[in-house]
């Protein structure tokens, strides 16, 4: 149980944010990759790294600023969200 609390604390302090994929429901392949970062360039770098991990090539389609609320939300949230459309699956 202590490990679970420690992991949760580390994740909160390390900066949680969206890092997920959106599938194409007809083909069951990844259609979009969503990543986040504390700056626009950090967001783009994270998107490239996530795409590399998923073994796909993406084209950046959107970078936008996510507003946060709360007194300490800046500690655990990333400010920018990037969306990349999968253009090719690497072999």
Range of the domain at 6: 2-89
To the question of pTM greater than 0.75 for the whole model, the response is: no
Euclidean distance between CA atoms 53 and 67, whole angstroms: 27
The helix (H) or strand (E) run that includes residue 42 is helix 40-54
Dig out the tokens for 80 from the structure: 């920018």
What confidence score (pLDDT) does residue 65 get? 87
| Number of Cβ within a 10 Å radius of residue 78 | 21
Tell me the per-residue pLDDT of 3-49, one tens digit each, with 9 for 90 and over.
544 444 434 434 455 688 888 889 888 899 999 888 899 999 999 99
The count of domains in the chain is 1
What confidence score (pLDDT) does residue 74 get? 59
Query: Going by C-beta distance under 8 Å and a sequence separation of 6 or more, which residues neighbour residue 64?
Result: 80, 81
18-22, 36-40, 50-54, 68-72, range with the lowest pLDDT: 68-72
């Amino acid at each position: 149980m202590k490990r679970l609390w420690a992991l949760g604390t580390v994740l909160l302090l390390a900066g949680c944010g969206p890092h997920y994929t959106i599938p194409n429901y007809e083909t069951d392949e990844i259609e979009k990759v969503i990543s986040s970062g504390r700056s626009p360039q950090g967001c783009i770098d994270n998107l490239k790294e996530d795409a590399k991990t998923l073994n796909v090539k993406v084209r950046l389609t959107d970078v936008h600023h996510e507003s946060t609320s709360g007194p300490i939300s800046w500690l655990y949230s990333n400010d920018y969200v990037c969306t990349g459309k999968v253009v090719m699956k690497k072999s």
